Structure formats: C-alpha cells, structure tokens
Structure 1
Amino acid sequence: MRLLRIGSICIAAACSMFAGIPAEAAVIVHGTRQIFPGEQREITVRVENVGSNASLVQAWTDAGDKSAKPEDIVTPFILRPPVFRLDGKKSQNLRILLADTALPQDQESIYYLNVLDIPPTPQDGEISTGNYLQFSLRTRIKLIYRPKGLNDVARAPQKLQWQLVEDGKRWALQATNPTPYYVHFGTLGLRVGGVTHLSPDAPMIAPMSTQRYPLQDLRSSPKGGNVQFQYINDQGGTAAQSVPLSVS
C-alpha cells in the first residue's frame, strides 16, 4: 500500500486518525493465483473495477522481490496493456505473454503478478476541508509457469516427506518435496497428544527442495504425532492432509 497524497495534515497525524478506517481496493483481480501452461504463449487475467469511479491501473510481474521497482524488474513475461484506465463497474482482460521460453522444463517456476489501483484525485467540492488521504492499493498474486507434460500436480502434497528435526534451540518440521511442483500451504502444524503445534510461517515449498518450518511451543521431541496441513490448489481452494510422523 502506497500513500499518494496528503493534504495539509501531517503524515503522523493522518495515520493516527485513519488507522481504524479499512482501505479496500476498487480494482480486483479474479483468481488468487494464475497458472501459465507451458504449451501456451499467452493467458488472460480478468481485472474488474467494482467501484463507481474510474481508476488508473498499472500491472507488472516480479520474480519474488515485492519491493523492487517495476522499471528495474526483468521477468520472462510481457503484459498488455501495462497501464490502462478502468472505468467504474467495468472489467478488462489483462494479457500475459511469455516472451522468454528459456525456462526450466522439468519443474515449475514461480513469479508474481502485481496490479496497482490508483484512484482519481478528488474534484473540487468533493472534500470540504481539503484534508484527505488517498491510497493506491496493490494486489499481488502468484503466477506459476507449469511446463508442458507436468500433469500430476494434484498428488504433489501427498508425496511430501516429513521429519521432525532440531533447529537451533527449537524443533521444526522438515519437508522434502521430490516433485516438480510448488506446494502451497494454508496452515501447517504437528498434532501431538491432542495439541497442535503450529508453524507460524509456512507459505510454500519449492520443487525438488527441502525446507524447515519451526514449530511453536514444542519443547521436546514427541514419540510420533501427525503432521497436519492445508494445501492450496490451482483454483485457490484448500484441502486438508494428515500424515503420521514416525520419530526414531
């Protein structure tokens, strides 16, 4: 979220006054993630303005650094159009074209689609005092390139291999992903004796990789337990998985 303009009030006072006011984007992106099939050279993403006023929309992709400036980013994708006006209650198809085909063909690659909603400046008479806040709101979702021939993504979560390991002075779940797919977690934890010890930061695991996820409030190594997690599918839905954990 980026502050575009503040009238005569200072930033600190403005943030204090408006801290409890929710900021909602008028421009929304349909879908929580986008899959780019390797056999295609272009996909479209629907962008909709659910508000009443027109917005200026800027769209770009990034390779994982959400703070990078659009003009400094290089990805294998081109967006058409990258900047456009979107009237209220209207929608626009954003085209994502694959410009560089030199991507790994044996596993998925992940990028991110950014859509920035820049509302219009209030007109004279809309604000009586002249003191106002205006925000531009950014939506950032996953853009996953899936090479041609990879068609077993639904079974990837079941193929994860789990271990309980010491990670410094704490315990962690260690996942090994032998598949060519990213597995995206909603929640992750270890349930022992009726208590679930959650991992506070478990966004995903990359293909062909091993990742550790620290657990909360687990003081000693249990004899068994169940790894419980929710994973997110291509449509943004979630499904639950429970895997017995054997501890030697």
Structure 2
Amino acid sequence: MLMCASAQASIVMTGSRIIYPADSREVSVQLTNRDDFPGVVQVWLDEGNPQSAPQTANAPFVTTPPVFRLAAHSGQTVRLRYVGKPVAQDRESLWWFNFIQIPPSEKGAQADNQLLVLVRSRVKVLMRPNGLTGSPLEMASTSRVWLQNGTLFLRNNSGYYLALSSLEVGDAGKKQRIQSETIAPWATVSWPAKVSRIAEANMRWINDQGATLSGRVAVENQGDVGH
C-alpha cells in the first residue's frame, strides 16, 4: 500500500522557498538527507494543484535530476530550468516545487505486510523580474485594507506575492483576525467583516528567508478603494 503522509520529512530543502530571477538560465536547489539510511527522492513542479503527480504536472520546467538516490547524511543539488513563455515583467509568477521521499522497503516475508509511507514536501517557486514595485521586506507599506458593504478587503499593491501570516483589524472595542493567506501581486482578497470600523490594521508576513515580519497597513476610506 502507498500512502502520502504529513509525517516529519527526513529529506529537507535549504530555505523555505525558491527564488528564480527571471533573467537567470537556471537555479539550484539543495536537498539533504538527515536519516541514517539512504532514500530515493523524486522531484517535479506544478502550477498550483496540490494533488499533482510527476505524471500529470505540466509546469514549464526541466529538473535535473528528476529522480535520484540520496545516501544517509548527504546532499544533492537539483537544477531547475525554465522552458516556458516569457513571464510578466511587472509581477512575480508562482509555481510549486514538490519532492517525495521514498524510504527503503523490506525484503522477504515482511515485505507483504509492509506499509510504505511517501513523505511529500511542497514549496513555492517565485520567478522574480527585476525592478518590481515594493519589497518583500516592506509588504505592509504596499498593502491597503478597507471595509465596504459588510466586507473586509485587503489589496496587495506590489509586484511580489504576499505570504500573509496574519492580519488584525478593528478598534479598541472589537477586532477581527485573518490567518494565513497567499495573495498574488496587484490582487485584492476579501472576507465577511466581523467589525464595523477599522481604526488600525496590523499585518504579519513571511519574507524570502522564512522570517516573520510585521507592520501597520494603511486603512482606506470607501471612496479611496482601488488606490
């Protein structure tokens, strides 16, 4: 039996996301086996489907190598090369890098009763053109929130993907807290409002290094929506 599990992976990637400069021919990803035994690793990219598999994924990338054996306590460099059409130059483009760890299987009589657990990890691949509006370190300054007709809105006015960790809005009387969300460049997302007034908005987000940053977000009046 094969089962995809959320168990703690022993094959780990250096970094929490992959940044692919749009003018680069390829980028390298480092994987490390922390186990005391070898394993087989398979890698692929997808366009946003968490149920993707190597046979169905159609992201425009070539991975080298796509499958490899990783010895105990050793590392492997995987090269990613983009082979698709030119990307938009005013925003990041997003794909997902997947890697599955296939542990060694038992041989002999025990093999018939063995449960083989495949541990899958999935991280963002952000293709980043030069000269984008904003900064991954200052996402709060290029974000805006407002209330309109019982709906809370948040707009990402930058060319970078916003990895929102939390958003807290409201006043001294009542607050609303929004949890993790990925917001595309120049995109607006919304939620049913649980507050009737926003006196202050504070945001936490994840940067390229995986650290959580925080900052105050500008609150727009209804008449300023879209700016």
Partner of 1:174: 153
Partner of 2:88: 104
Q: What does the per-residue CA deviation read over 1:155-190, in whole Å, with 9 as the maximum and x for residues that have no partner?
A: 343111110234xxxx54311222211111111222
Matched, 1:160 2:143: yes
The alignment's C-alpha RMSD in Å is: 2.6
Name the stretch that deviates more: 97-106 or 150-159: 150-159
Partner of 1:85: 69
User: In 1, are the aligned partners of 2:144 and 2:220 still within 8 Å (CA)?
Assistant: no
What are the residue-to-residue correspondences of 1:29-178 with 2, within 5 Å? 29-124=13-108, 131-150=113-132, 152-153=134-135, 154-166=137-149, 171-178=150-157
User: In 2, are the aligned partners of 1:29 and 1:115 still within 8 Å (CA)?
Assistant: no
Distance 1:51 1:32 in 2: 20
Match among 187, 205, 208 for residue 231 of structure 1:
205
User: In 1, are the aligned partners of 2:40 and 2:68 still within 8 Å (CA)?
Assistant: yes
TM-score, normalised to structure 1, is 0.79
Match among 164, 167, 171 for residue 188 of structure 1:
167
SS of aligned partner of 1:212: strand
SS of aligned partner of 2:208: coil
Distance 1:152 1:132 in 2: 51
SS of aligned partner of 1:71: coil
Unaligned runs of 5+ residues in structure 2 are 223-227
Partner of 1:221: 196
Partner of 1:16: none
Unaligned runs of 5+ residues in structure 1 are 6-18
User: In 2, are the aligned partners of 1:59 and 1:115 still within 8 Å (CA)?
Assistant: yes
Distance 1:42 1:228 in 2: 37
1:243 shift after superposition:
3.0
Q: What is the total number of aligned residue pairs between the two structures?
A: 220
Percent same amino acid at aligned positions? 30
TM-score, normalised to structure 2, is 0.85
Equivalent residue letter for 1:231: W
Equivalent residue letter for 1:4: L
